[in-house]
Chain A
Amino acid sequence: MSLRLTLLWVAGATLAACGRGAPPQAGPHADTTPPAIRYASHIEAGGIAPPGGVLKNPHAGDAAVAKAGAQLFTAMNCDGCHGGDASGWVGPNLADGRWRYGGADDEVFSSIFYGRPKGMPAFGGALGIDGVWTLVTYIRSLPPPKNLPTESWENEKP
Chain B
Amino acid sequence: MSSAARVALLLCLGLLPAGQGVTARAAEGEWPMPAADYAASRYSTLAQINSGNAARLHPVWTFSTGVLGGHEGQPLFVGNTLYVVTPWPNVLYAFDLSRQGYPLRWKYRPDVSANAIGVSCCDVVNRGAFYAEGRIVYNLLDGHTVAVDARTGRELWKTQIADVANGETVTMAPIVVGDRVIVGASGGEFGIYGWVKGLDLASGRVIWTAHNLGPDSDMLARAGSFHPPYDTGADLGVATWANDSWRTGGAPVWGWISYDPALDLIYYGTGNAAPYNTEQRAGDNKWSASVLARKPGDGSLVWAYQFTPHDGWDYDATGAMMLADLTVAGKPVRALVHFDKNGFAYTLDRTTGKLLVVAPFAHVNWATGVDLATGRPRLDPAKQTGASVGTVHEICPSLEGGVSPSSPAAYSPRTHLFYTSTNNLCMDYAAVPASRLKGTPFMGVTSPYSAGPGGNLGSFLAWDAARGKKVWEIKEPFPNWSGALVTAGDVAFYGTLDGWFKSVDARTGKVLSKFKVGSGVVGNPITYRAPDGRQYVAVYAGIGGDWALLAGDTRSDDPTDVREPAPFMPDIARHTSQGGMIWIFGL
Contact = CB atoms under 8 A, between A and B. Distances in A.
A77 interface: yes
A65 B383 CA distance: 37
B121 A118 contact: no
A148 interface: yes
Contacts of B117: 90, 118-119
A42 interface: no
Given A77-B434, A90-B121, A90-B122, A96 B561 contact: yes
B560 A98 contact: yes
B564 A89 contact: no
A126 B437 contact: yes
A81 B441 contact: yes
A100 interface: yes
B118 A77 contact: no
B473 interface: no
Nearest to A101: B560
A41 to B, nearest CB: 10
Nearest to A83: B548
Given A77-B443, A98-B559, A153 B571 contact: yes
A20 interface: no
Given A88-B548, A126-B437, A119 B116 contact: yes
A121 interface: yes
B560 A121 contact: no
Nearest to A89: B548
A93 B114 CA distance: 19
B415 interface: no
Contact of A89 (B119, B432, B439, B549): B549
Contacts of A88: 548, 552, 561, 563
Kindly name the residue among B118, B120, B442 whose own CB sees the greatest number of chain A CB atoms within 10 A. Answer: B118
B561 A93 contact: yes
Kindly name the residue among B559, B562, B565 whose own CB sees the greatest number of chain A CB atoms within 10 A. Answer: B562
B123 A84 contact: no
Given A90-B123, A98-B559, A153-B574, A80 B189 contact: yes
Nearest to B169: A119
A95 to B, nearest CB: 10
B560 A119 contact: no
Contacts of A89: 548-549, 552
B121 to A, nearest CB: 7
A92 B443 CA distance: 18
Nearest to A122: B439
A101 to B, nearest CB: 8
Given A92-B560, A92-B561, A148-B564, A156 B439 contact: no
Contacts of A76: 437, 440
B26 to A, nearest CB: 35
Nearest to A148: B562
A5 B428 CA distance: 53
B122 A98 contact: no
B558 A92 contact: yes
Interface string A61-78: 000000000000011111
Contacts of A120: 118
Interface residues of A, number: 32
Size category, B interface: 35 or more
Interface in A82-141: 84, 87-93, 96, 98-100, 117-121, 126
A99 B561 CA distance: 7
Kindly name the residue among B119, B549, B560, B571 whose own CB sees the greatest number of chain A CB atoms within 10 A. Answer: B560
Contacts of A117: 114-115
A78 B440 CA distance: 8
B563 A87 contact: yes
Contacts of A78: 440
A148 B563 CA distance: 8
Nearest to B118: A119
B446 interface: yes
A151 interface: yes
A119 B69 CA distance: 15
B285 to A, nearest CB: 20
A121 B439 contact: yes
Interface string B403-436: 0000000000000000000000000000010110
A37 B188 CA distance: 36
B562 to A, nearest CB: 5
B437 A151 contact: no
A80 B118 contact: no
A98 B118 contact: no
Nearest to A96: B562
Contact of A146 (B434, B560, B564): B564
A151 B118 contact: no
A77 B119 CA distance: 12
A39 to B, nearest CB: 13
A144 to B, nearest CB: 14
A100 B558 contact: yes
B435 A77 contact: yes
Contacts of B553: 151
A50 interface: no
A59 to B, nearest CB: 22
Nearest to B446: A84
Given A121-B118, A121-B440, A153-B571, A98 B564 contact: no
Contacts of B574: 153
A109 to B, nearest CB: 17
A72 B553 CA distance: 27
A156 B571 contact: yes
Contacts of B434: 77
Interface of A: 74-81, 84, 87-93, 96, 98-100, 117-121, 126, 146, 148-149, 151, 153, 156
Given A84-B446, A93-B552, A119-B120, 16 more contacts: A77-B441, A80-B440, A87-B563, A90-B122, A90-B548, A91-B118, A92-B558, A96-B560, A96-B561, A96-B563, A98-B560, A100-B558, A100-B561, A119-B114, A121-B118, A156-B571
7 contacts: A90-B117, A90-B118, A93-B561, A93-B563, A119-B118, A119-B120, A121-B118
